[in-house]
Structure 1
Amino acid sequence: MTIRSRNSDSNPLETDERFSEQAVRTTYPSKKSARNIDAAPDNVLKPYIEAETSFNSGLYSAAGAMYRKAMERAIKHINPDATGMLNKRIRELENNSILPHPMIELLDQVRLFGNDSMHEEEYDPSKEECEAAREFAFLFLTYAFAMPALVAEAKQKLAQET
């Protein structure tokens, strides 16, 4: 074994034979991965990933707030000119038939859950309630960003084949 001084530029884990073949196999507690929507814009992904991290940590109020924030940012991408409170922006999408009614329902559910998570004094959401908001957010982001990207990818692939 070699003893290195504190001023050594090399990393002892890289040069010490005892560590050369080591690998992390498992961590405790296990880290649950976020369900990621890669096609979503970065500013939508950031609160969505925070929501997933909060959900996986059992922080359901925080998750509710972040799922709501992700929906708010997603709406801004869909209708950049919309202003006002989130409910007003959702109604604008509905009234102008920008989104089909089932997507409006998903947005409303996440909005209401997020509002309750943040503003209701005596309300602590359960895991089951948060799981519903989580699923609604995932479905909406899939519809709004992942599906259009998959369709564009399929069209491009088809065009290359012909």
Structure 2
Amino acid sequence: MATFPHDCPHCGTKNSGFEIKGKFDFFDSINHRNTSAWFLMCGNPECTFPAVAVAQALDRVHLRGFYPTPHEPDLPDHMPENVEHYYLQAESILQQHADAAGAMYRKALDVGLKIRFPEIEGLLASRLKKLVNQGLLTEELGDFSHHVRLGGNDAVHDEDPFTVNEAKELGFLTKMVMTYIYTLPEMIRLRQERVDAEKAAAEE
């Protein structure tokens, strides 16, 4: 059975040997290319999930496309460097190690809140309550954060394996909180800085 190497978008295995199960010939009428090309129906023996590759034969066979596309890290802007480090770590291992990703999202949230609000002390649960009571987080974001806190704990301590979908949910909720406390304030600051500079230039 013919195989070719490609990173798996499902389990994250690098250069997995995808097995070609079948092919469908097609003419590229959209781009008006009279070339031999195929849809390749293939599967990764590591995780058994399917994929579709688009291959074209010129001087040699090469891939023009691969579906589904791999998960790309989605980081909120303007986070502190070490918070970004934990968040990126979670994103990069999400498909292969959902348990570890869940724990890293929780750590990114914890450290992100500590840096943004150093005056709020205590364990994460008590700090979240104080942040909501003082109006530094909305009640909804407080609920999101508690969900990440509890989910991260489950990822580390629960007997059942943490799923990719559960880890993705923690990632989304963590992103919402980081966007609120880092991304939006910095966007507003940069915008105001530009407005002030334009106003100063107009007055000269």
TM-score range, shorter chain: 0.7 to 0.9
Q: Which has the larger Rg?
A: 2
* TM-score of the two chains, using structure 2 as the length reference: 0.61
Deviation at 1:134, TM superposition (A): 1.1
1:10 corresponds to which residue?
none
Deviation at 1:58, TM superposition (A): 2.6
Residue 71, structure 1, aligned to residue 109, structure 2: yes
Residue 85, structure 1, aligned to residue 63, structure 2: no
Structure 2: runs of 5 or more not aligned: 9-69, 200-204
Residue pairs, 1:115-154, within 5 angstroms: 115-120=153-158, 122-154=159-191
In the alignment, the residues of structure 1 paired with residue 119 and residue 187 of structure 2 have an alpha-carbon distance, to the nearest angstrom, of 26
* TM-score of the two chains, using structure 1 as the length reference: 0.76
Instruction: Give the root-mean-square deviation of aligned CA atoms.
Output: 1.7
More strand by share: 2
Number of aligned pairs? 134
In the alignment, the residues of structure 1 paired with residue 196 and residue 123 of structure 2 have an alpha-carbon distance, to the nearest angstrom, of 42
The ranges of structure 1 where at least 4 consecutive aligned residues each deviate by more than 6 angstroms after the TM superposition are: none
1:161 corresponds to which residue?
198
Residue pairs, 1:38-117, within 5 angstroms: 38-55=77-94, 57-117=95-155
Instruction: Check whether the contact 2:83–2:108 (CA below 8 A) recurs between aligned residues.
Output: yes
Higher relative contact order (CA 8 A, sep 6+): 1
Structure 1: runs of 5 or more not aligned: 1-26
**Aligned AA for 2:139?**
H
Instruction: Check whether the contact 2:98–2:163 (CA below 8 A) recurs between aligned residues.
Output: yes
More helix by share: 1
Counterpart secondary structure, 2:179: helix
